[in-house]
A and B are shown apart, each in its own frame.
Chain A
Amino acid sequence: MKFKDYYEILGVPRSATQDDVKHAYRKLARKYHPDVSKDADAEARFKELGEAYAVLKDPEKRAAYDQMGSQWKTGQDFQPPPGWDAGFEFSGADFGAGLGGDHSDFFEALFGRHAKSGPRPHMHAQGQDHHAKVLIDLADAYRGARRGISLRMPMLDAQGRVTMQERTLEVGIPKGIRAGQHLRLAGQGAPGLGGGAAGDLYLEIAFKPDPQFRADGRDVYVDLPLAPWEAALGTSVTAPTPEGQVQLTIPPGSAAGRQLRLKGRGIPGTPPGDLYVTLSIALPPADSEAAQEAYRAMGKAFDFNPRAQKKG
Chain B
Amino acid sequence: MKQANMTSIEGRVVEEQVQLTLVELCQACSAEEEHVTAWVFEGVLEPAGDSPQDWRFGGESLRRARLALRLSRDLEINPPGVALALDLLDEIAALRARLQRVGVR
Contact = CB atoms under 8 A, between A and B. Distances in A.
A202 B9 contact: no
A33 B22 CA distance: 27
A216 B101 CA distance: 9
A238 interface: no
Contacts of A216: 97, 100-101
A294 interface: no
B4 A167 contact: yes
Interface string B53-96: 00000010011001100110111100000000100010000000
A184 B6 contact: no
B51 interface: no
A259 B13 contact: no
A36 B89 contact: yes
A193 to B, nearest CB: 14
A138 interface: no
Contact of B14 (A170, A182, A219, A276): A182
Interface string A146-188: 1010000000000000011111111110100100111111101
Contacts of B27: 126, 128-129, 199
A188 B14 contact: no
B6 A257 contact: no
A52 to B, nearest CB: 14
Contacts of B4: 165-168
- Interface footprint category on A: 35 or more
B9 A171 contact: yes
Nearest to A188: B9
B100 A203 contact: no
B15 A35 contact: no
Contact of A183 (B3, B12, B66): B12
Given A128-B30, A183-B13, A259-B103, A170 B6 contact: yes
B48 interface: no
A214 interface: yes
B87 to A, nearest CB: 13
Contact of B28 (A30, A129, A167): A129
Contact of B1 (A164, A182, A202, A203): A164
A168 B14 contact: no
B11 interface: yes
Interface of B: 1-4, 6-16, 18, 27-30, 59, 62-63, 66-67, 70-71, 73-76, 85, 89, 97, 100-103, 105
The 4 closest A-B pairs by CB, nearest first: A183-B11, A182-B14, A167-B4, A170-B8
Given A29-B74, A182-B63, 19 more contacts: A33-B70, A35-B67, A98-B73, A126-B27, A129-B30, A146-B8, A148-B6, A163-B2, A166-B3, A167-B4, A168-B3, A174-B13, A177-B13, A182-B15, A184-B12, A186-B12, A203-B11, A214-B105, A278-B103
16 contacts: A29-B74, A33-B71, A33-B75, A97-B73, A98-B74, A131-B66, A165-B1, A166-B4, A169-B7, A171-B8, A172-B9, A181-B16, A184-B14, A188-B9, A200-B28, A202-B14
Interface of A: 26, 29-30, 33, 35-36, 46, 50, 97-99, 126, 128-129, 131, 146, 148, 163-172, 174, 177, 180-186, 188, 199-200, 202-204, 214, 216-217, 219, 221, 257, 259, 276, 278
